[in-house]
């Protein structure tokens, strides 16, 4: 079994060191601000998105409400403009349905490329 890379060892989709996605709100499978993953993360939370209202509405309609706070889990609820580690398959579904949020390539973990082609991610890269 391959050990999980630490945050400073993980690579992004461009082959460079993985940047943090967000610490406010705190995101990531490990809740360390990074979109890195391991074998226990069945959803593969590796795509760092800049969420917008279209995506938040879309994912709520799919049964995953990211807008409503869940204080019991320390989750404040997302607002447009927040950065969040999204499941690669959910991002791909949103892309196929015409509502993909922008992505931060420097903060998308490299294994994302097993689900989403780099060219597709690059076409939806966040500005700046």
- β-partners of residue 85 are 48
User: In whole angstroms, how far apart are CA 24 and each of 1, 31, 53, 71, 119?
Assistant: 32, 11, 18, 15, 29
pLDDT of 9 reads 84
Give the pLDDT confidence of 5-27 residue by residue, as tens digits: 665 689 999 999 999 999 999 99
Share of the chain above pLDDT 90, in %: 88
Q: Cis peptide leading into 25, omega within 30 of 0?
A: yes
Q: How far apart are CA 102 and CA 123, in angstroms?
A: 9
Give the pLDDT confidence of 26-42 residue by residue, as tens digits: 999 999 999 999 999 99
pLDDT of 119 reads 98
Give the pLDDT confidence of 48-91 residue by residue, as tens digits: 999 999 999 999 999 999 999 999 988 899 999 999 999 999 99
Annotate 19-74 with DSSP letters as a single string.
PP--BTTB-TTTTSS-----TT-TT-EEEEEE--HHHHHHHHHTT---SS-BGGGT
């Amino acid at each position: 079994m391959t050990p999980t890379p630490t945050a400073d060892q993980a690579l992004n989709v461009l082959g460079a060191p993985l940047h943090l996605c967000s610490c406010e709100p705190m995101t990531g499978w490990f809740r360390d601000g990074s979109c890195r993953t391991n074998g226990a993360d069945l959803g593969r939370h590796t795509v760092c998105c800049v969420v917008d209202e279209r995506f938040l509405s879309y994912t709520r309609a799919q049964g995953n409400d990211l807008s409503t706070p869940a204080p019991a889990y320390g989750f404040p609820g997302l607002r447009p403009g927040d950065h969040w580690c999204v499941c690669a398959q959910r991002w791909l579904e949103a892309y196929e349905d015409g509502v993909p949020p922008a992505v931060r390539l420097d903060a998308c973990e490299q294994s994302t490329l097993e689900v989403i082609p780099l060219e597709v991610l690059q076409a939806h890269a966040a500005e700046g």
